[in-house]
Structure 1
Amino acid sequence: MPAQKASPAGSGLKKTQPSAPNNAGKHPSPPNKQQPNPSRPSTPINFGIPTKLVTPPEQLAGTSTPYTQSRPTKSASPPRQKDPPPGLVSASQSEVKDVQGVRILVLEGNKPKHAKPGEAIFDCVASVISLAVDILECRPSFYVLLKIVEKTAGARHDLLWLQNLGDSDSGFEPAVSDYLESTRASFPHVLVSNKFGMQTKNGRTNKRSWKDKFDPKAAAAIELSGMLVSRLVTMYTSLKTEDSPILRTRFRTLHVRLSFTIAHELVHAFTHYLIRNKRRHTPPKVTAGGYGNSEVGESGRFWERELAGGVVDMRLSANGTEMVALRDDPLGKCYRLLNKVINDLLARDFKNSLRPDGGKLIDREHKDVLAEHISPKRWTDSYKNMFDEEEVQGLEELNPDLLDELFGPKTRKEPKYNISGQNARKFAMGPRKMLHST
C-alpha cells in the first residue's frame, strides 16, 4: 500500500461514558451548496528556520492531557438494515465526541512499549486520533464512505451480506454507521514505528479476517510514522516553553497531516470491514491518482480525493517548514492549503473546507482564500520530500510475533484510555501544560 490522527487548565480526570449518537433516527440529508467566502484572502505566514527535529519516539515524554481509563466494551454486532443512521459530527464546534479504548504503542527495538497519558508522545498521538475520527465522521466524509460501500458491493458479488444491503444509500447507511460507531467506541491499536518498512511511510494498516462480530481491535491495527510523530512531539515540547506563532503554525500543519494519515488508514480498515477477509483486496475502481493496479484499489486515496479534492501530501519548504497540498496529478492540479484551512479543520469547523464532491477547497471562488493553486511540478521541485529516501513499495512488513502481540490477549490486558473530544480540540489549537490527576 502506498504511504500515507481540553478542559481548562487545572481540571482533572472525569469518568466518561459512551455518548449517544447525534441525530439518532434521522437520515443524513445531502450537504447544502456553500456560498463563496467573501472574506479577504489569507496571507501565508513567513516561517523562520525550524529547530532540528530528530528525537527518537521512544525517548519522548512530556505533560498530559486529561484522559480517563476506559472500561471494557462489548463487540459491536453486524449491521442490520433496520439499524438507525449514524450520529454525525457536524460542522458545529460545540459537538466534539470522545474516542474510547485507545492504546498507543511505541516500537523500541523490536518490542512495543505502551505509552501512557502524561507522556508527550501519547498526548500528541491521542489528539491526532481524535481529529482523524471527527473528520471521518463529518457529514461530507459519510457520503464518501457510502460511495465506497456502493463500489465495493458492485465489485464483490460473492459477498452476500453486502448484496443484502440493497443498492441505495438507505441500505448502505447502517453499515457506515456501524463501522464509525464501533471504531469510536473501541479504537484500533496504534503502533508508532520507524521499522519494518515504516522508514518511508506515513502510515499502514495491518488486517485480520473477521466473520460474525466486528471488533476494531481484532480486525485492524494502525502503524504511524515515528519520524513524523517525533517532529510533532518536539514542536509540542517547545511550545510548552515558548508560545511561538511560527512553531504553533507548524505544529498545527503537521497535526492535520497526521490526522489525515490516521483517517486514511481507517478508510482501509473500513474496506476491510466490508470485505471481512484480509486476503481479499480493495476493488480496483476504489482508488485515485493512478495508485493501485488492475486488481487492487486504494480506498484511502479515493476517500481523500472525493472528500477534499486531491490526495493529501506534505513536503518541506527550503527552510524546513511543513507544507500540505492536495494533489490530483492525472488532472495536472495541485493546491497548497493555507493556514485558514488548517485552523478550521483543527477547530472541527468543516463546513468551509470539506464536501463530498471534492470541490470545496479548489473552487475558483475560493482562490487564495483556502488554497494556493500551483503546478504539481512546482510542488515537487520547490518542496522537499519529508523522507530521506524515495518511497518504495513492497518493503518489509511486521513480523508474525509483533503482529500477534498487537492483536493478542497480552496487549488487551493493558490499560486503555478514553480521549475527551473537547480537550483534544483545545490541545490541538494550542498545546500547553495541563494538570493530570490519578
Structure 2
Amino acid sequence: MHGVPHLGNFAGSVLPAELYHRYLDLVGKENEFVCGGDVHGTPLELEAMERDKDPREIKDKQNKKVKEAYESLNVDFSIFSDTHSDYNRKQTHDMFEELYCTGLIHEKTQNMAYCINDERFLPDRYVEGECPHCGGLARGDQCDDCGKLVQPSEIKNLECQICGENNIEFRDTDHLFLDLTAYKDELKDWVENEEPVPENMKEQVLHDIDEAEDRSITRDQNWGFEIPVERVNQRIEEENLEVDKLDAEKYDNKVLYVWFDAPIGYIGFTRELYDDKDKWKKHWNQDAETVYSIGKDNTIFHTVIWPTMLLGASNEDIEYSLPSYEFIQQYLMWEEGAFSKSRNRGVFIDEAVKHYPADYWRFYIAKMLPTNHDTNFSWKDFESEVNNVLNDTVGNFVNRT
C-alpha cells in the first residue's frame, strides 16, 4: 500500500473480490469482504525517513487515501483496515509463536546488502538494480517486471535508496526463516485435488511448491511488528520444548517481514470486524470457505507461504482452513508495460473518477478483467464499450423494462 491505487490494482484484486461479495449477498449466503493496506513495507519507512515523519502518521494518511479511492468506485467493503493494528499484532504474534514453538521457524545466517555510507543493512526495497532474469527493475527481493523473486546479491548495478550510491558490501546477519518444505506434499495434494487456483496458473503453482526454499521472515529495520521474544521463550521454558530460545539482544533491532504479517492481516481484519469475539473463528476454521483475489505477482505468497503458515499455526484452539479458491489476475497493461504506482504508469483512480462516473469504470474493468492473460487498457476501447454496450445495449434494455 503506497500512493493512490490505479486501475490495475482495482482490476487485479479489489473488483473481482467485491463482485463475488455482492453475488453472495444476492443469493443470501453469509460472507464478509475484508481488505486493507499492508503498511509495513520499506516504501513507507523510506518515505517517513525522507520527510522526517513518524511512519504511523504516513500510513494513516495513505490508508485513508486508498480507502477513499476505492469508495469513490462504490466498493462495498465489510471492513477496510490496515495491518498495523492491535488485532493484527495479536494474531501475528499468536501465529509466530505457534510456528516457532513447533519448529517451523529457525535461525540462519544470511548474507545481506550493507551500505557503508549509512552504516546499516538494506532489506528489500532499500536496494534497487537490474533484474538478473529479465533486465528489468528489481527492488530488493522481487522484480517489478517479470515478478520473479530475487536475492539482492544477484541484482546488477545495486544502489542504496537512502544515500543513492552503490557503496555497498555484503555482510552476514542472523535472521529467522520459515520452513517452506515441511508441507510440500500437503500443498501439492491441495492444488491437485481441491483445485484452488485457475487452471492457467496450476503448473506455475506446483512448480513454486516444488522449488520452495526456506524464506526469511525478519528484517533489519525499525518499522514493523516486533518479534515476540519474551512470550515465545516463556512458552519454551514452561512446556520444556526442544527448540532453542530466541536471543533477545539479537532480535531487539529486527522486525517481522511485511509478507509475514500481511496475509495474517486477513484474519486480523476479521478479528477487528467482530471486535475480537470468537465469532471470527467461524470464518477461518475447517468449516469455512475462504476466497482470495490477488494479482499474479503475489501468487507465491498466497499459494506457498500463506498456506504453509496456516497449516503450521493450526492447533487445538483452531485448525485453519486452506484457501478454497484464489482468483489470480494477470496484469492490466499500459503503453510501456504493466500499470505501476512506483513508476507512475497507468490511469489512477482519483483521476479516473474525475472524468467519468464510477459505474463506467466498474463496467469496463469487469468486462475486460485480465483473468487468463495480460490485457491492454485502451481509451478507445473504453469509450466504445461504454457507449455501445453499457449505454446503448444495457441502457436500452433497462429503459424498456
Give the TM-score category using the shorter length: under 0.3
Higher relative helix content: 2
TM-score, with length taken from structure 2 = 0.24
TM-score, with length taken from structure 1 = 0.23
Higher relative contact order (CA 8 A, sep 6+): 1
